[in-house]
Amino acid sequence: MRIGIIEDDRLLNQALEIALREAGYDTVSIHSKKEALALLDGREDLLLIDIGLPDGDGVRLYQELQKEWKQDQRQGTPAVFLTARDEERDMLAAFDVGAEDYVVKPFSMKVLLKRIEVVLRRNREGSVLTCRDLTLYPERKQVLLFGEEISLTAKEYQLLEYFMSNQGQVLTINNLLEKVWGLDGEFVSENTVSVTIGRLRKKIEPDPGRPDYIRNVFGLGYRMGE
């Protein structure tokens, strides 16, 4: 999943980028309104927007982006606003333009990551994830292959959903242990991950010996999709 960071404080921008990448997200770092209008394409999964940008207001920026995406018939991207101000009018202005959440600086990076997770999960509910002949319905916890439902264990389903939500990204063993096994990941061996992936491949791959959906990335981990 890709998150746009729109924050003019370069140290904070860098800290956010590091934390998000360590959490398994792809990122694009932006430091001004001008850069945001030039670089964002509406295909980001979430935006972190500083309200006090050097060349404009973050709330107005989000309004402009929404208008542009609507004209181009692109789906809008949810936003979490960041600000050093803790004023009611700022909060209301952010929510009036469709903010999903509002975070006052300074903030805990762990808390911010949890809020991001909640926003992404909320926006994913009811959506459909696809990868060629695979279709996954997160809300129904249902997976179809060539239009036929396939039966997966809970861990196989969680693993597949995480892969399909992060297509094109290299996912390390640590990513998978943290996001799929959670707290239990501390007590799970790498072999358990590879065995679970092997079982999943037998159910979704035309040729499990030469996987086409979930591929090994030598020395790094796994990747689904191109």
Torsional sign, CA 185, 131, 114, 123:
negative
Question: What CA–CA distance (Å, rounded) separates 186 from 193?
Answer: 12
The residue to which tokens 């509910």 are assigned: 125
Question: What CA–CA distance (Å, rounded) separates 116 from 77?
Answer: 13
Token output for 193: 């991950």
pLDDT tens digit sequence for 97-155: 788 888 888 899 999 999 898 888 777 665 688 898 999 987 778 899 998 999 999 99
Query: What residue ranges define each of the domains in the chain, with the CATH number in brackets?
Result: 2-124 (3.40.50.2300), 129-224 (1.10.10.10)
pLDDT tens-digit profile, the chain (226 residues): 789 999 999 999 999 999 999 998 989 999 999 999 998 887 788 999 999 899 988 999 998 888 887 665 455 688 999 988 777 777 778 788 788 888 888 899 999 999 898 888 777 665 688 898 999 987 778 899 998 999 999 999 999 999 998 888 899 998 898 888 876 656 678 888 999 999 999 999 999 889 999 999 988 999 997 6
**The whole model's pTM is what?**
0.58
Torsion of CA 189, 183, 168, 48, to 10 degrees: -160
Token output for 3: 């998150």
Show Cβ contacts of residue 172 under 8 Å, excluding neighbours closer than 6 positions.
Answer: 220, 221
Q: CB count, 10 Å around CB of 164?
A: 21
DSSP conformation class of 214: E
Q: Which helix (H) or strand (E) holds 134?
A: strand 134-137
